[in-house]
Every structure is written in structure tokens, then in C-alpha cells.
Amino acid sequence: MIARLDLRGSRPGLRELRAALPRAEFDVEAALATVRPIVEDVRDRGAVALAEAAERFDGGAPPSLRVPAEVVAAALGGLDPAVRAALEESIRRARIVHEAQRRTDHTTEVVHGGSVTERWVPVDRVGLYVPGGRAVYPSSVVMNVVPAQAARVPSLAVASPPQRDHGGWPHPTILAACALLGVEEVYAMGGAQAVAAFAYGFEEDGAVCEPVSLVTGPGNIYVTAAKRLLKGLIGIDSEAGPTEIAVLADATADAEHVASDLVSQAEHDPLAAAVLVTHDAALADAVEAALVRRVAATKHTERVAEALAGRQSAIVLVDDLEVGLDVVNAYAAEHLEIQTADAAAVAARVRNAGAVFVGPWAPVSLGDYCAGSNHVLPTGGCACHSSGLSVQSFLRGIHVVEYDQAALRDVGGHVVSLSRAEDLPAHGEAVLARVPEVEPGA
């Protein structure tokens, strides 16, 4: 059902842990060879290439790449009331959290007459990608759109793959989520071709999809490869891989809670990673027994079983909580649950995680939908250097420098000295042209 990795009797260092801990095989570099001609075709042929790609990869081209407003409105009109209420609450909570992340400009007076202001400016236009493979992800619409709107991005567009069963449009629930958020520009396009379309822009029947500055949102390996290929022409949020959950637990944890949370993430994808780290062998046994029961009873039994049996999943046994913290910090999970005694204090010692879920009443699935947090998070160990999607993802800090003549004169000699030290004398001459009386070093 799930492998065991026994680290008891040792306290391995970071290098050893990174080599030993389970990871999914996710070779983005290999996917580049497949993605490159798709991206280049979209660059060269625009809408025609996008329609052909939809025929090839999605089972049929949409009636038009841009989804008409009436189709979006009809999707909202046909939305199940319970789902609508849940989406509205998800949006409300996400707005509370993300509006609080907004940054304000700050001016620092370095010297009298000389200041530096850090001004926070949203990107001009973003493309927000919402996957549409094994599952339907209206929650990803919320998680992408809300922070972009909170950042006051002036132009945004959403893309999601066309669905043959829905007239070639994206799934109606995704369209309904767009409608609830007030998104007017929605495209029926998926995969690497959607990322390319956002990066280069295209024209369809006289209507133009302008290029974007930034593309965010998770996707499959081909979406990730396209983001890697086009990074530089566009900004990206991250190179998202298969989803991950790690649970750090002790004897106080409920084995049924732990097992249900491992299953909940495993149902995303056969490559999804589910990792339990514990120093309690009895808990490990109880969780494994609970997994057997729950996997047999869940809807996506085969997918979950494959994920749990894969090389990316394991129960990791350690000597104590200290080593357990070493393990989860080295693993740097997308989602990390702390199910221990004094869970808040333990969580405060976590340095590397996309999001941390504290105690028995904060499962990852709460964060997926309605906690108010964002579920677009770093995977594959990238949480040791990267953050999840937030308002900050859509902002750029611009330094605005203001010095008057006296302030420049006061520091000008130092600028001249440093310019000469770097053999860039024209830098200093630009100062001397303004305040010729300064002396190097003064």
C-alpha cells in the first residue's frame, strides 16, 4: 500500500535527507522537446495553431477561442446553488486574506534632501491558467484571480482547456467561477499552447488577445515545460509539479485523520506524493491499516492506490520529533500538516513549507477551498526558496530616487571614487557634470 523509510538510529544531514526522501519523477527538461514546436507554432501561426492544438490534444476545437459573455453568464445561471454558495464563501474568505497582503509605498529619507521610495506597482496584464484534466478546478480560478484583483492588476485573462462534453467550452463550473469574480476575458485553450498564447498574444476574427507580462497557475508537465521555456519573455509564478502532502505526527494524532488527509491529496494524480513522518510506530501501523480501508472505499481507488504505492510516497520513521522536524524541513512540502502535541509551537519551528496546517482541525482540503489561504503553492522541494501565490506575486517593487543638488554634492565624491575603482570613469563624470566642485573621497 505504502512504503516505509526507517531513519531510526540516525540523524541524517540535509544532503542525506534530500537523497533519501521520496520524490515523484517529473522530468520537465525532457518535456521541453515536445513543448518547443507547439510553442513555436503558436508564436508563428496564432489562432490557427491554437485551434489545431485543441483538435489534437482536447478532442476538438472550441467554437471560438474567446468564450462569449453569454456562455459565461449561462454557466453561472446553471450552477448548482450549493456549489455557488460554496464558491461565494471561498471568494469572500480569500478576499479577506489577500486584501490584507496589499503593500503600501514607503519613503526613506537617507539624508536631508535625498530619499528612496519603494513603490509597489502591479504588472500590466496577467494570464491565469486553470487546469482541466482529471478534475474540475473552479477553486483554482478563485486562487489565481483573487490575489491578482487584490493587487489591482488592470488587465487579466483566464484560460482553461476546451471540453468536448461541454460544447468545446471550458467546464461550466470554471466559467461560473469566472462570472462570480467578474472576469470578462476567458479563453478555451489549454496545455503548453495556452501558455504560448498568453506569452505572444494572437488575433482571432479581428479580436486581439494581447500578450501578458505574467502567467500563473498550476498545470501538467507540458504546461510547466512551456512556462520554463518562455520564462524571461514572461514572468511565471513557479514550475508546479505533482501535488504533495507531508504530515508530521506523534502519538496524539488520530490515525483516521492522517489517513484521510493522505488519501485526499493522493486522489489528485497517480504522481501525487503522500508522506507521513512520525516517531510513533504504533501510529504508523494504525495509519497504514486505515489507508487500506479508505483506499478501497474512495471513488478514485486506482489513482489513489497508485499514488500511495509510488516511489514519491512513504511512511518515514524517525527517533523523535527533532529528527522529524529535520525531515520535514528538508522535504519542504507543498502542504505540511502538524498533528502533534502543542502543534502550534511545533509549526512555529517549520522553516520550509508552502503552507502549514496546524492541529487536528485544519486539514489540507480546508486550505484547498475555504481557509482563505492560497492553494497555488511551490512543489518538488521548492518551498525552501519560493512562496505560494499571493498579492506580492503580481506586484513589482520600483525604487524611486530623489536627491537635490546639496545631497548629491555631499555624496558625489564617493560616487566618483567608486566609479574609478571599477574603471567606469564616465559614471563619475555624470556626477561631476552636475557638481564639478566635489573631490573624490569627499
Q: What distance in Å separates the CA atoms of residue 262 and residue 274, rounded to the nearest whole number? A: 5
Q: Which of 239, 244, 334, 337 is flagged as catalytic? A: 334
- Alpha carbon separation from 394 to 107, 375, 390 (Å, rounded): 21, 16, 7
- For residue 174, what pLDDT is reported? 97
Q: Tally Cβ neighbours within 10 Å of residue 304.
A: 26
- For residue 356, what pLDDT is reported? 98
**For residue 184, which of 155, 219, 144, 215 has the smallest C-alpha distance?**
155
Active site residue 334: yes
- How sure is the predictor about 132, in pLDDT bands with cuts at 50, 70 and 90? confident
- How sure is the predictor about 442, in pLDDT bands with cuts at 50, 70 and 90? low
Q: Is 357 exposed, middle or buried (0-12, 13-18, 19+ CB in 10 A)?
A: buried
Active site residue 52: no
Q: What distance in Å separates the CA atoms of residue 185 and residue 261, rounded to the nearest whole number? A: 35
pLDDT in tens, 374-427: 999 999 999 999 999 999 999 999 999 999 999 999 999 999 999 999 999 999
pLDDT in tens, 63-87: 999 999 999 999 999 999 999 999 9
What letter represents residue 267's amino acid? E
Q: Which of 335, 337, 414, 439 is flagged as catalytic? A: 335
- How sure is the predictor about 332, in pLDDT bands with cuts at 50, 70 and 90? very high
Task: Give me the residue label for grid cell 508530521.
Answer: 248
